[in-house]
Amino acid sequence: MNAVQYAQSNRIVELMRRRVEERDAEWVKDALQQAVLLELATLPPYLCGMWSINATSQNRVLHTLRTIVFDEMSHLGIACNLLTTIGGTPRLADEELVPKYPGPLPGGVRPELTVFLGGLTTHSVEMYASIEEPDHPLPLPAPASHTSIGAFYTAILDALSAQPELITGRRQVVRDMEDHGSGNSLVELKTLDAVKSAITVIKEQGEGTSASPENPFPNEAGSGELAHYYAFREILHAHELIEPPLPPDKWDFPTFAMGVVPTGGWPRTGPTAAPAEVIALLDQVNDTYSEMLRLLEQTWKQDDPGQAADFLDAAVSKMFMLRFPARELMKRALPGGSDKSYGPEFRYTSA
C-alpha cells in the first residue's frame, strides 16, 4: 500500500477488525502510526477555534481551548514515544499522510464526521465534541456504532499487554510539562506500567472516566476541569443559555468570523483569488507548520537525548510562530461582501 492509499484508507477500522490473536508487533506499529496522525489531526481545528477568540486570557472558553490544545500536543508526543518504544519511527512530514481539511479523521474513526477549519461557532464546537466522544458518554450508556479514539487506544493497550516484550524504551523523548497539566509531561515508556499510565492519560483527558466527566489529569489540581468531550459540551450549553439568544456563529465575547477553509485551500487564482498579502500570510503559516512537522519527525529519529531535545525545542518555537500570521488572516475579509474572514489552511509544503 503506497502513501496515498494508506492515507485514504480506513486503516484504523481495518486494524480494529483484525482478530485479537493477529495483533502482532507489526499491527501495533501500524496502529500507533495511525494514532500519531489522529492526534495531529485534532490540533489545526482546535487552534483555529482558539485563535478566533479575540478576548483576554481571562475568557473561560479561551482558557478551556488553550488547555485542550496543550493536552493534545502532549498526546501527540506520547503517541510518538509509544511508537518508538516498540521500534517504530513516527512519520509526520509526508504530504500524503498529513491530514487535509475538510476531510475525515485518519483511519476511518467517526466516519460520519467531516473535520473542517473555521472560527468558533456552535457547529465547530459540535465537531470538536464529536472527535472526543467516548463510546458511552455519561449519563446515557448507549453502545456506539463506530470506532472511537478511546476504543482504539484500548485495543493498542490490550495488544501491548499481551506482548510486553515489544516495549524496549528506545528513543524516548522526555520533557517536563507539568505546568500544563498533571499528566502532560513526556516520560520514558520503558515498562508496561508506564505504557498503561500514558494511554490512560490520553483516554481520560479526552473522554473522562466511566464514573465521572472530570479530567483526572487537570491543568490545576482540584479545579474540577472537565475532560475534553464534556468541556466542549459545556461550551455549547453555555451558548444555549445566552439571553437574548444569539446565532450559532455569535458569542457574548468578541471573535474573528473565520470562514470554513474550502477543499484545496483558499483560491490563489481566478475571480475569487486571495489578495497577494493574504497569499503571503497563508504561505507563511503553511511553511511554518510544515517545518514544525519536519522538526518533530526528526525529534523521534534521534538516539541522542540532547539532540532530540534540541529538535523538539525548535519545533515548539515554530508552533508559537503560527499564531501571529493565523490571526492576521482572520482580520482579512473574504471577497464578495462576506461577513467572514480568511484563516489558516494548515497544508503541508515540501522543504
What are the cell numbers at 25? 508487533
For the chain, which residues make up each domain, given as ranges?
3-255
What are the cell numbers at 122? 456552535
CB 195 within 8 A of CB 85: yes
CB atoms within 10 A of CB 206: 27
User: How many angstroms separate the CA atoms of 266 and 199, rounded?
Assistant: 37
What is the CATH code for 3-255?
1.20.1260.10
Determine the residue type at 273: A
pLDDT tens, position by position, for the chain (351 residues)? 555 445 556 888 899 899 999 999 999 999 999 999 999 999 999 999 999 999 887 899 999 999 999 999 999 999 999 999 999 999 999 999 999 999 999 988 888 899 999 999 999 999 999 999 886 565 544 444 446 788 899 999 999 999 999 999 999 999 998 776 667 899 999 999 999 999 999 998 988 766 678 888 877 765 678 999 999 999 999 998 888 889 999 999 999 999 999 999 999 999 899 999 999 999 999 999 999 999 999 999 999 999 999 999 999 999 999 999 999 999 999 998 889 999 999 999 997
Residue appearing with cell numbers 473522562: 208
CB atoms within 10 A of CB 78: 26
pTM of the model: 0.93
CB 104 within 8 A of CB 98: no
Strands (E), 86-182: none
Instruction: Burial-class residue 220 by CB neighbours within 10 Å (0-12, 13-18, 19+).
Output: exposed
What are the cell numbers at 338? 462576506
User: How many angstroms separate the CA atoms of 193 and 190, rounded?
Assistant: 8
User: How many angstroms separate the CA atoms of 137 and 231, rounded?
Assistant: 13
What is the torsional sign of CA 56, 57, 63, 66?
positive
What is the torsional sign of CA 335, 325, 343, 327?
negative
User: How many angstroms separate the CA atoms of 157 and 71, rounded?
Assistant: 20
